[in-house]
Each structure stands twice: as C-alpha cells, then as structure tokens.
Amino acid sequence: MSRDYEAEITRFFDGLVSISQLTRRLTTKEEQKQMEGKKAIFAIKGVNKTFAFEVRGTEIIRLESISGVDTVCWARDPQQFLEYCDRVFQDGDTTAFERALQRGDLILRGKHTIHDRVLWRKAFERLATAREAYTR
C-alpha cells in the first residue's frame, strides 16, 4: 500500500495531528523513546477525545500506552484495516468502522471503549461532511 493515508486524512479532517505533533503532545519522553522508528500514528480528534492507531508500513501496531489517549484501536489483519480505511476515507462510509468492530476485524482497548466508540462515530460523521466539502 503506497497511499499516504496521513496526508489524505489531513486534507479531509482538520483535527488530524502528525506523528511528531502527537508524540510531543501525548507522550512522555520515555514513551517517545519507545515509539522510535514507528512510521505513523493516525489520530482523529473526536468530539472530546483523541483516538490513535499506528501504522508501520502496512502493519498496524497496537498502542498499549500513550498518555492522553484513552482508547486504542488495533486490527488483526493490516490489509483488512487498510481496506476499511479506504471505505471510511474514500467512500465516506461512516458505518465501516462499526461493521469492522462487529466483525472483530478492529478491536478497541482502553478504559472507556464503548463511550469512545460512540464519540468516534460522531467524528466519522464529521469526517464524511468534511470529505464531502473537500470533493465538491
């Protein structure tokens, strides 16, 4: 997969922060050291929360502890994950996230996963609106 999802999401959704911004903002120095060599973290600023998942090449890496991030989303199958990204970010399918969770392709870990899942859906709705504006 050569697509630059980070750039694409940035164009669609102004809440996105880059890996360097995210690491500076959300992690301690120790955690930043742990995250060295990791290619990208996509974070979508939700209604009140930031959600993060990390992509290293086509691999999705589960994030265990990033300060300030309550809920981490990870995928069993990176390829499926990228297809899911296509559906959300290209087709504007806001239910793709929920479907992937129901199938168990995506897994949420954290303290308030259901709360954050509900808010994340709202974020996707905003994403879809932003995408619509972008493609017009």
Partner 1 sequence: MPTASLLAGLPRRKEQMRTLICSAIKGGVGKTTVTAGLGRALARRGYKVAYLDCDFFAPNLNVELGANGELTGTGSGQIIPVVTPEGFELVSMGSVYVPDQAVTLSEEAAIPQITELLRPGEIRWNSPDFLLIDTAPTSGAVIQASLNAPDLLGTIIITHPSRMARADLLRSLSLMRDKRIPIFGVVVNQAYWECLCGHREATFDLTPEDIEEACRPWGVEVVGVIPHSRDLAGHFDALAERVLVATPVVVPEEPKPSRLGRRLMDLVSKALERRGI
- The verdict on 70 binding partner 1 (CB under 8 A) reads yes
Q: Contact 61/74 with Cβ under 8 angstroms?
A: yes
- The verdict on 68 binding partner 1 (CB under 8 A) reads no
Q: How many CB atoms lie within 10 A of CB 28?
A: 12
Q: Please choose, from the candidates 82, 110, 100, the residue with its C-alpha nearest in 3D space to the C-alpha of residue 9.
A: 82
- The verdict on 40 binding partner 1 (CB under 8 A) reads no
Toward partner 1, which CB reaches closer, 24 or 112?
A: 112
- The verdict on 109 binding partner 1 (CB under 8 A) reads yes
CA 35 – CA 21 distance, rounded (Å): 13
- The verdict on 116 binding partner 1 (CB under 8 A) reads yes
- The verdict on 32 binding partner 1 (CB under 8 A) reads no
Stretch that binds partner 1, among 7-15, 16-24, 84-92, 111-119 (CB under 8 A): 111-119
Using the structure block, give the residue that is written with the tokens 């504007």: 92
| Residue 55, Cβ density class (10 Å: 0-12 exposed, 13-18 middle, ≥19 buried) | buried
Chain residues in the site for partner 1 (CB under 8 A): 47-48, 70, 95, 98-99, 101-104, 107, 109, 111-119, 121
